[in-house]
Structure 1
């Protein structure tokens, strides 16, 4: 499915000109891994028990824009960002939002 993705970071405006995402950062791709370790201990029902989910790094790719210097600064200073919002929208037409991800106390750990 084709989609458009946008990132909103407190205090770091981007260059999106999309009507619903003015000044957000346009994302070209992202990846995020999660895994659910299964305990070797069986539950009362006889199946493996679920544990706390492990989240991997949330990786975002975007084109160089006016947000880039602030992102470089964030990685250099280790400053935590209060909140970020990522929205995935259907490409073209009405750009209906079908997924929203909110993260709090975000650390920008690397830029490549």
Structure 2
């Protein structure tokens, strides 16, 4: 499995043919939560708050995008960002999870360097809309349709 990131104006080192010039990521974490309250004896009448959509955290290795990502964290403007989770197959690379982030800002940039190898970086992405699509693949490596979801944070509506 590989994780690839594309942010408008940021050219990475990936050479894989369907993700040329994307940024290769080592890990990704993200969360969504909402507060729920249940009154004793009224389990079916739970009350909830609006969702809290967390920032997406990605780790990468230091490369030519490092100064650009730093600059984006300091003064960047809202851009479109794509994240693809891919797997290899006899037919090549298959994207099974896609995220499209709208009005994306790099909200944090940090590095971790020590004597053991190439420094790693962590970036956080803040956005106003997220669309995701999971595509299952059958045993013959053909897509079996897709499962989409999305949320517009600015409007507070499901897409």
Q: TM-score, normalised by structure 2?
A: 0.60
2:38–2:45 Cα contact (<8 Å) kept: no
Look up the match of 1:60: 58
1:10–1:81 Cα contact (<8 Å) kept: no
Do the aligned partners of residues 56 and 81 (structure 1) sit closer, same or farther apart at CA in structure 2, a change above 3 Å counting?
A: same
Q: Give the distance between the partners of 1:37 and 1:80, measured in 2 at CA.
A: 31
- Map 1:82-97; keep pairs closer than 5 Å: 82-91=79-88, 93=90, 94-97=92-95
Look up the match of 1:105: 103
Which structure 1 residue ranges, 4+ long, deviate > 6 Å from structure 2?
Answer: none
> Does 22-31 or 51-60 show the bigger shift?
51-60
The alignment status of 1:35 with 2:1, answered yes or no, reads no
Aligned residues: 108
1:39–1:48 Cα contact (<8 Å) kept: yes
Cα RMSD after superposing both structures: 2.2
The alignment status of 1:81 with 2:78, answered yes or no, reads yes
Look up the match of 1:21: 19
Q: Which runs of 5+ in 2 are unaligned?
A: 111-159
Query: Per chain length, whose mean CA-contact separation is higher, i.e. which structure has more relative contact order (CA < 8 Å, sep 6+)?
Result: 1
